[in-house]
Amino acid sequence: MIQHLFPSQDKVQSPDITLVIPALNEEITIGEFVTWCKEGLDRAGVSGQVLIVDSSTDKTSHIALSQGAEVLLVPKRGLGRAYIDAIPYIRGQFVIMGDADLTYDMRSIESFVMHFKSGCEFVMGSRFKGNIEAGAMPLLHRYFGTPLTTFILNRLYGCHFSDIHCGMRGVTLDALKRMKLRSQGWQYASEMIIKAIHLRLNYTEVPVIFYKDRAGRLSHHKRIGWYAPWLAGWENLKIIFLMRFFMEGESIEIE
């Protein structure tokens, strides 16, 4: 069952941007994160809806509401599913995605907004073109996993992305609906890019800042265990190869 909660403050009636943020037990960071979102909207000069898609068992939702965010309470069914669940509740014309853990700097969304206004339908963040704080990304991810899977996707689909796993990305609401995402977990990241290419969306990349975890916070990969990065890589590679197989037939529609 999904429950949509509103803060005590009046909500923005017709937002330009919706910031859609999945959260799972982020009570350490969520308060400051919502503040970052509001600061980013102010800096970009746009009105915005901050929508936290929460499946936590801690106080994440209460803190988010107290800071002025909307909260969508959903069952814990995976990162990709959180974005799918959020679609009917998005009120902005443009959507920016990110993480609630303060690793992506949501105070700096001006470049996303600028590209949306110039006609882009899909805007990918890139940590490698931006800045990665020391200790923010494990060496296995930075020098092997992400470059390898990015290379494979680029080679198979004829594109030139530099960071296919970046969690900070933007898409128009219309394009997001047309993507008809199916991935329930981490593989949503690759599915979005492949479908952006398949739909011939006008897309670009922008540099983003990637920070290390705050003191006291345990990353989701560490919460799951040592095998989490390998599992995430395998899930993304599966979707990359499977979708390529289906795309070879002109008459087959990818869903």
Tens digit of pLDDT at every position of the chain (255 positions): 899 999 987 677 889 999 999 999 999 999 999 999 999 999 999 999 999 999 999 999 999 999 999 999 999 999 999 999 999 999 999 999 999 999 999 999 999 999 999 999 999 999 999 999 999 988 888 988 899 999 999 999 999 999 999 999 999 999 999 999 999 988 999 999 999 999 999 999 999 999 998 887 766 555 555 566 667 777 888 889 888 876 654 333 333
Looking at the domain assignment, is residue 243 inside a domain?
yes
Instruction: Tell me whether residue 3 is exposed, middle or buried, using C-beta atoms within 10 angstroms of its C-beta: 0 to 12, 13 to 18, 19 or more.
Output: exposed
Which pLDDT value is given to residue 252?
Answer: 32
The total number of structural domains that make up the chain: 1
Is residue 252 situated within a structural domain?
no
Domain extent at residue 128 = 3-247
Bridge partners of 110, per DSSP, are none
pLDDT at 141: 84
The CATH number that applies at residue 121 is: 3.90.550.10
Alpha-carbon span 241 to 255, nearest angstrom: 15
Is 254 inside a domain boundary? no
pLDDT for the residue numbered 201:
97
Evaluate whether residue 187 is within a structural domain.
Answer: yes
Q: Are 108 and 156 in contact (CB under 8 A)?
A: no
CB burial class (10 A; 0-12, 13-18, 19+) of residue 143? exposed
Give one DSSP letter per residue of the chain, joined into a string. --EEE--SSPPPSS-SEEEEEEESS-TTTHHHHHHHHHHHHHHHT--EEEEEEE--SSSHHHHHHHTT-EEEE-----HHHHHHHHGGG--SSEEEE--TTSSB-TT--HHHHHHHHTT-SEEEEEEEEEEE-TTSS-HHIIIIIHHHHHHHHHHHHT---S-TT-S-EEEEHHHHHHH-----STTHHHHHHHHHHHTT--EEEEEEEEPPPPTTPPPHHHHH-TTHHHHHHHHHHHHHHHHHHHHTSTTPPP-
pLDDT at 253: 36
| Residue 23 is assigned to a structural domain of this protein | yes
pLDDT at site 248: 52
Q: What is the strand order of the sheet 94-97 is part of?
A: 3-5, 70-73, 48-54, 17-23, 94-97, 169-172, 122-132, 203-210
